[in-house]
Amino acid sequence: MMSKVVERFIKYVKYDTRPDEDSITHPTTSGQLELGKELVKELEEIGMEDICLDENGYIMATLPANIDKEVPVVGFIAHMDTSPQVSGTNVKPKFVENYNGEYIILNEEKNIILSPKDFPELKNYIGKTLITSDGTTLLGADDKSGIAEIITAMDFLIKKP
């Protein structure tokens, strides 16, 4: 069973939020605005307050304090856009469960392989579940994973007894 944070992340990566470097508008693409609208909907559903999606694509929301004394305000920040250099269209997340430390075939047809020889840090994740793309697109983990974590944390705090 997939955790809520992973469910959210997988949903978010399917939005193509690559920026258009030639655009003079903000956000620079409709995909960024579409994801923004989805995030607003989720924030409303979990019970956040003062939700705002401004004309530049920035989203703000408030989780009111649940105590009567003055406490510091904390802000969490993440971004929706991804790298403009790699496609973000038709992202196909791939799960590698219980990673064994060997190379990962991302796309057999196109012979796209993720190798620990090229990325030695992969060895740090032996035994873990990895989420990758199929190698033909960018996954968009930076920073859609951050967005998923923030919304899931707020959901947890709202529901916490």
Structural contact between residues 49 and 62, judged by C-beta atoms closer than 8 angstroms: yes
Residue 125 belongs to some domain of the structure = yes
Tell me how crowded residue 27 is: count the other CB atoms within 10 A of its CB.
21
> 110 and 77: one domain?
no
Give the pLDDT confidence of 83-100 residue by residue, as tens digits. Answer: 999 999 999 999 999 999
* Residue 106 reports pLDDT greater than 80: yes
Model confidence at 52, pLDDT cuts 50, 70, 90, reads very high
* Residue 73 reports pLDDT greater than 90: no
Q: How far is 58 from 36, CA to CA, in rounded Å?
A: 8
Model confidence at 51, pLDDT cuts 50, 70, 90, reads very high
| Six token digits for residue 39 | 């995030």
- Domain hosting 111: range is 92-136
Residue 34 belongs to some domain of the structure = yes
Average pLDDT over residues 146-150: 98
Model confidence at 65, pLDDT cuts 50, 70, 90, reads confident
Residue 87 belongs to some domain of the structure = no
Tell me what pLDDT residue 161 has: 66
> Taking the model in full, what pTM does it have?
0.91
Average pLDDT over residues 113-133: 97
Q: How far is 88 from 3, CA to CA, in rounded Å?
A: 23
> 145 and 117: one domain?
no
Overall number of domains in the chain:
2
Average pLDDT over residues 129-148: 96
Q: Are strands 112-114 and 49-53 parallel, antiparallel or unpaired?
A: unpaired
